Structure formats: structure tokens, C-alpha cells
Amino acid sequence: MVNPIYILTLSLAAGFLLTLIDKSGRKLSLTVFYGILSLNVFIIGEWFYRLTFLNTPTVIINTAGFSAPLSINLQLGMQEAFVLLFANLTALLSAVYLFKKFKETHISGLILYLIMIVGVNGLVMTRDLFNMFVFSEILSISTYALITLTETKKSLSAGFKYMIAGGIASTFFLLGVTFIYYFTGNLNLDFIHLGNFSNLGFISIFLLAIAVFIELKPFPANGWALDVYEAVDSGIVSVIAVVNSAAIFFVFYKIMPILPQNFLNVFGIAGVITFFFSNLMGLKQKNAKRLLGYSSIGQIGLLVASLIFTMHLPRSLMYLIVGGFFFNHLIAKAGLFWITGIVKKENLKDWNVLKNNKPLLVLFGILLFALAGFPPFAGFWAKWEFVKMLVHGKMFFVVGTILLGSLFEVIFLFRWFTLSIKGDEKTEHKNISLELSKMFPTTIFAGITILISVLIMKFFYDFNWLHALPVLAVLIINVIDFLPSKIKGILSLAAVLTYGYLIYPLESNIQLFFGIIFIIGSAINIIGTLNRKGKSEGFYGLLLMMIFSFGNLLVAITYLEFFLSWEFMTISSFLLILRGKKAQKASMLYLIFSTAGAYLMMVGFSLAPDLVSNSVLILSISNVSLPIAATILLSIGFMIKSGSLGVHIWLPEAHAEAESDVSPFISAILLKAGVFGLLMVGISYIKHTPSFDIFYWIGWIGVLTAIVGAFLASFQEDAKRLLAYSSMSQVGYIVASIAILSHLGWLSAMYLSFNHMMFKSALFIAIAGVYYRTHTRTMYEMGGLIKKMPLSFISVLIMIIAVSGVPPLSGFGAKWLIYSSFIEKGWYLQAGVLFFASGVSFLYLYRIIHTIFLGQLKYEHQNVKEAPIWFIIPQYIFIIGIMAISMFPNLIIQPLNSIAMRYFNSSIIIDGYTISSSLGYWNGNLVMYVTMGVFVVPLIFLMLFNGRMQKVKQFNIVYAAERPESPQTTHVAHNMYAHYRKALGGWGKPRIWDFWHEVSEWSHSLADSIRQLYTGNGQTYILHIIMYVIVIYFISGV
Amino acid sequence: MNIWIKILYAVISVLVVTIYGLTLGGIVRKIYARVHGRYGPSVWQPFLDIIKTHGKRVSISHGYMFYLGPIFRLAGGLGTYLFIPVIFGSVVFSNFSIAGDLLLVMYFIFFGQLGMALGAGEGGHPYSPLGIARGLSQMTAFEVPFSLAVIAIAIQYNTFNLTTIVAAQQGSILNWTLFTNPLAVVAAMISLLGMNMHPPFSIVLAPQEIPIGPPIEMNSSFLATLQTNRGLFTAAKLILFMNLFFGGATNLPIMIIKTFLIYMFSVFVGASFPRFRPEQSMRFFLKWPTLIGVASIIFIAYF
């Protein structure tokens, strides 16, 4: 057990001796330097272990042989040890990172570095206010000097601004210390109490507090820090942003007990404001390091706010929240700063060099996801608990600001991420040199991020291992990524089926039903991916992650488990979409909307009362009465995922730009997760009817989604966009049917969900096959493919009949159920809109089949072959499914009837094959036979009497007095419904798209105008600080 | 009932109505001719046309979907007709209405249209998809007032069951939907103009612009099949309207008189008005008839 004071003395001594040692060569001085840094880590590590796990009591070190307050005392408790360990470890790794620089630079660099660490360690441990001032000066002076080690004009001026700002803060600090001594006669934190102060005395505390707070870079008095982040070398800046910030943050924590509550509230709000505005301004940022700077400043603001608002919580929860933010932010930030030093690209657009560098890309991805607060990283849990706590405290404004700020952060971080992966090809690709000294610390920190996630999941929450499965899947597939794609595909198929078997003994039929959609549907769709050539690195890991997350939604017991799976689903689907060739914008749009939805859900779940039983959420939610606000927020969250009108603009982009064998998953299955969620909300809602009938409005949104989606689909030229809008429209029907909240309504919703899963999977796979052969998705570039791809044509034919609702196929069942349920409920006008939507759907259905398969074959497609067998198999499996439930509707109606009966009294009578509702009846089986009869009779007739028939070639048509010139001029496909567009007039304008575009423009403009605050002029920055102090002074009401 | 007897009845029913429908078509051609100042063909001309086209020496097919197109069309007509109970109380003319209600009939109408559109599409002639695009668009538009009227009826009679709807209108002429729910009838009758595709809604066949549109490539037996369907399908639609709005029919003569009169509405308008452009047609249906349809629902549901 080494006395902790050695971490101060050793560094200090070494610092002074290094000049001497350096005379005998840099090797020796470097050895000493790294030795000391490692020793610090070791000493403090041992203490941390003792204090945390062996329950060693907190150590108080009295200096100069006297006890406090006569002498200065240092304290090392668990909290100090935690911060110190972290700071020293980061310092060591940063030093490793800077190895090359330290080898070449003047010896003063090493000395300054050690001195700075002394400052940090002293700041954390000391309990004496004046001593704190001394250490903070040591820290500041060494930092200024270190900043100027990067010898550019920019960094010199940044260092100077930093010095001025630090000087002002120090002045306030010193004034505060002086007055505190005047009022209390004491400077030791252990002996100063709030009670000691008179009214006037509060000014002294204010001065002290504001000095520390300024050092924490509150908005807008933080321009000086941003300039430093941007200008200084990555190794140094990670120390400044992380180690220094950690120390100052801890100082703030130490003085908190002597601050009155109204100060704290003001600082808390100021932290939230900082978080919000930093992230807002980050939106406009194109420089990688400055962007991280904005993020850093914002995160520190959040950290301060979380500390202040969680003080009253139980310790373990507070540690999770504050510790989570602390760790997450600082580790991720250090790692990302290091990566900026490795990549050496300032402009975000140039970061696409990362594309060809998998190890670095993985590290970058891990740290970025961690920073953005996605699961399983610490920030996610912290955010979840923090939001929950704030919501319970009814601090809705704070919650809203924080979540909006977080959304901005996600936007700019992931714009960076997606640009790195999918940025323009134009820029030069120079390989990045991966120096060991730089990769090592980054890898360690990425490792620590993961380790902490594991610890939290295992020890704090004790999750069922199933919930770690999505992440494990990614890791395992990553290990076997060298295998060919087909083998991984088959393994994945087996894994999905095994997973299905594992969760199979489900508690209820509703889970089973969605299990079939999620798991069996996915399994069949995986067959389509077997057509992949090469290795498809990373693909199957993400795919499995998504499928397992679907499944985990079904077996989630708590809100958190559900939300966790939801987030895993979002992440994996985002990354899958991002794999598409031109998917940068599409995936961003998807992520932005999904994240916004997730935040709404987070608040919604926080508002929800505790669950009373231990069953799965979909069952236990029925015993919970969700407040109206929670119902609304959750519904919006789920409706975003299902692409409802108003929040649908991500949907066509994501579906169209994803790889063609991924789109079926997104459309046919992912959207159903939203449906599942909405049903869940409905289950709670029907048992406890609140005063305001929110589902009435959801119903309207659903039917409007159906009609608008259908029209939009009809006006597309891109086959996948057409199908995407068709999905939007179909899910609109489902949402509206759920909103009916009746037996027949839910029966229709589930029936349609199942049907939609099958036909939309098959359609997307069919288009995947066509795309694979023709390399185009633009429909008017195709035509006449029926001759070349007859199997795909038949599949599309059957599926569009199933979509359209034309008897005898299963689509009619859906229409029959839906209209019956709407009329039964009394939603007449809504039913009218649905009739309209159903008519309009014929437009796009005809368009997709005609322009691709019928009409004139293009010359360049003369030699096109049928789609590969891997695309054909799943389509025909789905055809069998469609035919089965068309012929024998009872196969599906009966189980769905029993599921819906759990919630409502049955409103249908099943007698043989006849299904009767209160309004009408339908015998699917007889309809099928009659249809077959009326079809076969004319067919036989024609075959008997039309024996003289001859087949003719492509252009042999009755063309009045002219010869068809080329397929292009003869094939009617482009802008097929121009007349309808004309008829719609102003109704055809993309108003919602325009709206969101304006929102984006306005936020960016706002960000840009606020950014003007930072002029880069040191004097302006001083003015900011002074004014900030004055404003806070008045607000605090001292 | 024995299924074979049922089928026998259905065959009789289909034959009777097909003959009636074709004759009706002949009469209408005659009327149009007289309006145009011509003498016109004989009323049996549709039958002669079918025989003639069947007897053509050359028959051309563009592929299997093209081949199936007319079959889909006729199957659509047959199916639509067979799911409607034609004569109230008649066993022979009850058809297969036990298979489903009004919704089934409404959606089965699309069966033939969709199949025909696909078959015509494979023909590769640009006029086919042009006509189809117009036809589908116009269909989405006139379906709106029609479906609103149907909803109003469903509210009024609280059922989609056609037989029940007809039963409810028996007893007195004042029980007809025409008098109990006049707004719905107005909306539906306007959309009938679109369904029958007489001017001003003849944009689909539009002889002068896209000569006869979708079936342009259809020839010989294919065309004959379509011509047969034209008679049957027209009659089926008229019977549906008769059942929904005009008290149905208790015997064959009544059915013939009523459907003839209903059809005359289309013919009268058709003979008097010029053709709309496609977008005019769609706008027309989506404005006043739709509002009348909405009014009929509001009227019946809340007053």
C-alpha cells in the first residue's frame, strides 16, 4: 500500500529532475516519464481496488504534521480514487499516444505534462480551497504551455485565449476564497457549512462557484475552449478535454455541498442550456475536432446538470447516471480525439478514407455509438435513468431540452459516421498509417467502453442473456467473417430458427402470432440473401442482431428490456440500410426519425406506472393504466416506426436505398414492430379508457396515411420507392384498424399484418431479382420482362392481387374485415377514405407490374435471365402461404379470432368456411371454388375454339399507318398517371417533405446564427465571460 | 341443395342474363344511332358481332398473359354476376350469393378489370396502357361517390347482405332506397355514369384519341370473349344498382324493366354530353358527387 501522496511527489520530483536526466539521453528520460505515469496508475489502481472492493475506509492525509484545518488535508475516498484512476489512465494512454512527439520535442514538454498531472491529482484530492486554487493554477499554466507545444499560429492564439479565460476564472476563484475566509475564518471544505454564511456571504460562495463553473465551459462563455479544441494536437486536446475536465468537474462536485440550492438549480439549468446549444451549433460544424469540441462542451453541461439533479437519489442510481455520463463522455471523447489525430482529416467529408480501414472504422463506430448514448453503452443507461428521474420530478422542460439536444448530437455525430462510410468517392484515398502507439490507447478505451457496458448489463440490471444476444450475434459473426457469405447465411438461418425454438414456449398467442411474423418471416427472407456473392462482411451479424431484437421485443418483461430491444433494432436496421450504395442520406433520415421516436418512447415509458406482474410486457401492460401523455408519446414513437403520415418521409428513402435483399426485412417485418408496439399501447388503453379519445385521431392518421401513401406510390418511377409507399399505405390501414379498438378491428389489423408480411416480402424479393438482372430500379427503363422472367412475373401477379384485395386471394379477407369493422364502429367517413385508398392502390399495382413485366422489352434486356433461384424460393414459399390462407381462411381467422377475444368479445361467427359479422358474411372457400369455376370454363372454351391461334413477335402490333420505332418510344411507362397529377393540382405538392425540409433549414440557420457569437476574438470572449457572470449573478438572486 | 342443381341454375341464370345484356347493348346502339341521325344496326348486332369475331381466320396472341386477359375479364363478369342475388325470392336466380355480401361483389368487379388490364398490357400496344391508365384513374374517382353511397346503405340497413337490402325495400315503392336515402342514390347514379363509360366519361375507349384503348390488340376469339362479357357485365352492374337502390325485382320482367330504365339514364346523359378530358373526369367525380355521398352518410347516420 503506497501512500497516495506519492502520486503528487513522484511526479513533481521527476518533473524537476527530468532536465538533468535528459542530459544522458532521451531514452532514459522517456523511461522515467512513462515509469512515473504508469506508477501513478498502479498506485491509484490499487487504492481504488481497496476502497471499492475491500471497503478500506477513506484515507485522509494531513500534511505538515498538523491536522486540518490547521494544515492542508488531502482525501482519497472511493470517488476520488475513481476519478484519479480514470484521469491517470487517460494521461498515461495519452502520453503513449504522444510517444512520437515526446521523443522529438523539447524536454520541457515532458515536464509540463507531468506537472499538469500533478495539478490534476492535487485538485482531485485536496480539501483546502486555497490549495485548490494553487493546483488549478499549476494545471492551467502547464496546460497553456502544452497548448503552445503545437507550434501553429492558431494554437498560439488559442492558448492565449485560454490563458485569459483561465485568468479571469482564477481571479474570481481567488476573490471567492478570500471572502470565504473573511466570513468563515476557514478554508477547509470539511469545516465550511452553508450555515456559516450571512446574506452577504453568499456572494463569496457565488464567486467561488462561478469561477469553477466558467472552467466547465458553459454556453455562451466558452468560445475560448472551442478554439483550443480545434487548434491543438489531438493527443494534447484529449488530455485537456478529458483529464482536465474530469478534475474540474470533480472540484465542482466537491464544492457542491456548500452551495445553496438556488445556485445549484441555476447551474443545473445552465448545464442543460449548454448541452442544448452546443449540440445545436454542432449541426453546422464541418471540422472534426471542433465538432468534438462542441460535443465535449455539451456533454460537460449535461454532466453538471445530471450531477445537480440526481443529488437526492440513492447512491447506486446516482453513480449509474453521473458515472455513466462521465465515463461515456470522457472515454468516448478521448478515443475520438485520438482517432482524429490518426485520420488527420479536418473536414468531415474527407473522412471517407476510413471506409477502407476496418479496424479503425470499428473503433470509430464503437466510440461514436457510445458517445451518442446508444445501447449497450453506459450513456444509454444513464440517459434512460436520468430521463426517468426527471420525468418523475415533473421536470418536463428539462427533459425536452436534453432530448432535443441529444437528437442534434445524434444528427451531427452520425452525419460524420455516415460520411465516413459512404462519403463521396471523389476524394483521394491515401491509406492511413496505423501507428501502434496511437492505436493502442484507442483500442484500450474502446475495450473499456465495452467492458463497462457488460458490467452494467450484468451487475446493475441483471438482464436475461437473451437481451445480450443481438450484440453477441454481431461479435460472433465478426469472428467468422472470413467465411463465404453463403455459409454464414445458412448458419444465420439456423441461428434464427434455433432462436425461434428457444423462445418458443411463449406465454400467449399474440406473442406467437408476432413471433411468426418476426422470426419465421425473417427466416424465409434470409433465403433471399443467400444469393450474395463474396463475403458480405458484417452483413449477417447486423441482420441477426435485428432479427433477435425483433424476437426480444416479444419476450421483454420490463419497459427497459423492451426499449433496449427497440434500440438494438434501430441500430442494426440503421447500419443495414447504410450498407446500400447511396444510402448515406436515407440512413440518416431513418436514424433521425427513429431516434426522435425513441426519445418520445423513453419519456412515454418513464411516465408509465410501474408494472405489477412478472409476465411479458405485452401481457402485463393490460394491468397498467397508461396516463394520456404516455399513450400519446408511445403512440407517436411507434407510428414513426410504422411510417405514419407526417413522419413517413424516412420510409421511402430507407426502403429504396437499402440493399435489395434488405428491403424486404425493413418493409415486411420492421414496420410490424411499430404495429406490435401500437397494439401494446392499445391493450393498455382499452382496459382503462381515459377521458380523451386519442385513438380516434390515430385512426384518422391511419386512414390518411393509407390514401396519401397510395397516391405517392402511384407517382413513383422507382420500383422500390413505389413498394415503399405502398407499405406506408398498407400499414396505414393496419394502424387505422388498431385504432378502432374493437374485436373486428384488431382481427383486421393482425390479418393484414400477416398478409402484408407475405406479399410485401415477396414483392421486394421479386424486385431484388429484377434489379439483380437488369441493374436498374427505374421502372420505365424496363418492360416486357414477362418473357424473360416468367416465374418472377407470376409471383408479382399473385402478390399484387393479394395486395389489391381482389377476391379470391387473401387480400379480400382483409378488405372485408376492415370495412366491416369500420362500419360496425361507426367510422363511416374513414371507411370512405379507405375505399378511395383501396381504389388508388390499383394505380400503383398496375404500374409496377405493367412497366416492368408487360409492354415492350428493351433491347438491352434481350438476354436477361430469370431471377436466381435464391430469390425464387422465398417468393414461392410466400405464394404457398397466400394461397393457403386464401383457400382456407380459417387457418388464419380462427387463431386471430382467439387472440382478439382476449381483449374483446368476439364479433364474428365462424360456421364452416362462412365467416359472419354483424353486417355481412364471407365464405372464402366457396369464393375460391366459384372463381376457379368461372375462370376455368372460359379458359377451356377458348382453348377448344381458338386452335388457330398464332404467336407473333414483339413489334407485331396494329399500329395505325406507322411502324413502332423502338421499345423506348412504344412502352408507356414514364409518368404514367400524369393526368391524375394534373387532376390533383395543388393537392399533389409534397407539403410534408417541404415542412421537414424547412425544419432542418431553420435549425441549421439558427445554429449558424448562434455560432456567430464565437468571433475568435479574445476580447469578445472575455466580454462573454464577464457578462455571463453578471447574468448568472442576477438570476441566482444572491 | 345439391351442388349440381345449383350449378345448373347458375348456368341458366348466366345464359338468360347474357342474352338480355347483349340485347340491351343492341338496343342502346340503335338509340345512339337514332340520336346521331343514322338508322343504326339491328338490335341483334352484338350477337352477330360475337359470331363474326369468333369466326375470324387469323388469331394472334402476344403471350400467355395476353391469352389469359380476356378470360380474366369474362371470369370477372361471370363472378360478379354470380355473387349477386338477381331476383328476390327466386331459387334459380339466387346464384352463389351465399359466398359473400356486397363487399365481395364490389371487389369482384376489379377481378376482370385487373386481369384484362394485364392481358392488354402484354399486347405491347401503347394505346392499351394509355387507356388502362385512364380507366384505372377514372375508376378510383367514381368509386369514391359509389363507395360512400354503399356505406350510407350499409348504415341505413345495417348490413352488407344484398338479399337483406332487397328485402328491406319490399312492400311499397316508398321503401326503395331511392326514396328513403335519395342522396346516396344520386351519388351512386352519377358514379354509374363513370362505370358505364358512356360520354362524358368515355375516356377509356375514346375512339378518336386512343382507338378503343385497352382491347386494341384483342382479336378473334379474344375479342369475342370480351364482347360476351360486355353484355353480361353491364347487366350485372345494372342488377346490382337495381338491388341496392330501386327495390330489387321479384320476377324477370320487373328486373328487365328496371335495369333498362336505369341504363337509360347513362344512355340519356351519354347521348347528350361530349367527352371530358381525363383530369376533368377525375375532378368531376371527386367534387360534387363525393360531397353528395358524404352528405348522404351524414344524413343517414345523424338525422
Q: What is the pLDDT of residues A235-280, one digit of tens each?
A: 888 888 889 999 999 999 999 988 888 889 999 999 999 999 999 9
> CA of A773: how far to CAs of A499, A527, A714, A845, in Å?
34, 18, 24, 21
Does residue A604 surpass a pLDDT of 80?
A: yes
Does residue A144 surpass a pLDDT of 70?
A: yes
Min distance B284 CA to chain A CA atoms (Å):
9
What cell numbers appear for A785 in the block? Answer: 420482362
DSSP annotation of B99 reads: G
Q: Which chain A residues are within 8 Å of B117, Cβ to Cβ?
A: 846, 850
B216·A819 Cβ contact <8 A:
no
Q: Which chain B residues are within 8 Å of A907, Cβ to Cβ?
A: none
pLDDT digits (tens, 9 = 90+) for A480-516: 989 999 999 999 999 999 999 998 888 899 999 999 9
Does residue B14 surpass a pLDDT of 90?
A: yes
In this prediction, residues A296-309 reach a mean pLDDT of 93
The pLDDT value recorded for residue A426 is 60
N residues, chain B: 303
B137·A920 Cβ contact <8 A:
no
- d(C-alpha A972, C-alpha B127), whole Å: 8
Domain definitions of chain A by residue range: 1-189+214-258+1002-1038, 260-462, 463-935
**Pairing relationship of beta strands A73-76 and A909-911 according to DSSP bridges:** unpaired
Min distance B261 CA to chain A CA atoms (Å):
28
pLDDT digits (tens, 9 = 90+) for B89-102: 888 888 888 888 99
Q: What percent of chain A has pLDDT over 70?
A: 98
> Phi and psi at residue A910, in whole multiples of 5°?
-105, 115
B61·A931 Cβ contact <8 A:
no
N residues, chain A: 1038
Question: How many Cβ atoms sit within 10 Å of the Cβ of residue B56?
Answer: 16
Q: Which chain B residues are within 8 Å of A946, Cβ to Cβ?
A: 59, 220-222
pLDDT digits (tens, 9 = 90+) for A169-226: 999 999 999 988 888 888 888 888 777 777 778 888 899 999 999 999 998 888 888 8
The pLDDT value recorded for residue A537 is 87
Residue type (1 letter), A960 = A
Q: What percent of chain B has pLDDT over 70?
A: 100
In this prediction, residues A70-85 reach a mean pLDDT of 88
Chain A touched by B217 (CB under 8 Å): yes
- d(C-alpha A291, C-alpha A282), whole Å: 6
Identify which of A805, A914, A930 has the shortest CB distance to residue B79: A930
Question: How many Cβ atoms sit within 10 Å of the Cβ of residue A362?
Answer: 14
Say how many CA atoms lie within 13 Å of A629 toward its Cβ.
12
> CA of A204: how far to CAs of A128, A176, A177, A200, in Å?
16, 5, 7, 8
What cell numbers appear for A202 in the block? Answer: 453568499
- Split at pLDDT 50, 70, 90, the class of A429 is low
pLDDT digits (tens, 9 = 90+) for B103-143: 999 999 999 999 999 999 998 899 999 999 999 999 999 99
* 3-state class (DSSP) for residue A74: strand
Min distance B125 CA to chain A CA atoms (Å):
6
Identify which of B96, B101, B121 has the shortest CB distance to residue A850: B121
The pLDDT value recorded for residue A687 is 83
For residue A485, give the nearest of A548, A528, A447 by alpha carbon.
A528
A836·B143 Cβ contact <8 A:
yes
What cell numbers appear for A435 in the block? Answer: 501507428
For residue B101, give the nearest of B60, B138, B154 by alpha carbon.
B154
In this prediction, residues A607-627 reach a mean pLDDT of 90
Does residue B187 surpass a pLDDT of 90?
A: yes
Min distance B186 CA to chain A CA atoms (Å):
16
B59·A948 Cβ contact <8 A:
yes
The full DSSP string for A697-759 is HHHHHHHHHHHHHHHHHHT-SBHHHHHHHHHHHHHHHHHHHHHH-SHHHHHHHHHHHHHHHHH
Collect all residues with Cβ–Cβ distance below 8 Å to B14 and sequence separation of at least 6: B78, B81, B82, B232
Phi/psi-derived region of residue A643, left when phi > 0, alpha when psi is between -120 and 50, beta in every other case:
left
Which of residues B211 and A760 earns the better pLDDT score? A760
Question: How many Cβ atoms sit within 10 Å of the Cβ of residue A873?
Answer: 16
A895 preceded by a cis bond (ω within 30 of 0)? no
Min distance A483 CA to chain B CA atoms (Å):
43
Indicate yes or no: pTM above 0.80. yes
- d(C-alpha A782, C-alpha A770), whole Å: 9
Chain A touched by B67 (CB under 8 Å): yes
- Which of the residue ranges A60-64, A741-745, A1026-1030, B195-199 would you say has the lowest mean pLDDT? A60-64
Chain A touched by B34 (CB under 8 Å): no
- d(C-alpha B192, C-alpha A689), whole Å: 43
Chain A touched by B216 (CB under 8 Å): yes
The pLDDT value recorded for residue A329 is 87
The pLDDT value recorded for residue A105 is 85
Q: Which chain B residues are within 8 Å of A828, Cβ to Cβ?
A: 151-152, 155, 297, 301
- Split at pLDDT 50, 70, 90, the class of A425 is low
> Phi and psi at residue A811, in whole multiples of 5°?
-55, -35
DSSP annotation of A865 reads: P
Find out whether B243 and B163 touch, Cβ atoms under 8 Å: no
Does residue A1023 surpass a pLDDT of 80?
A: yes
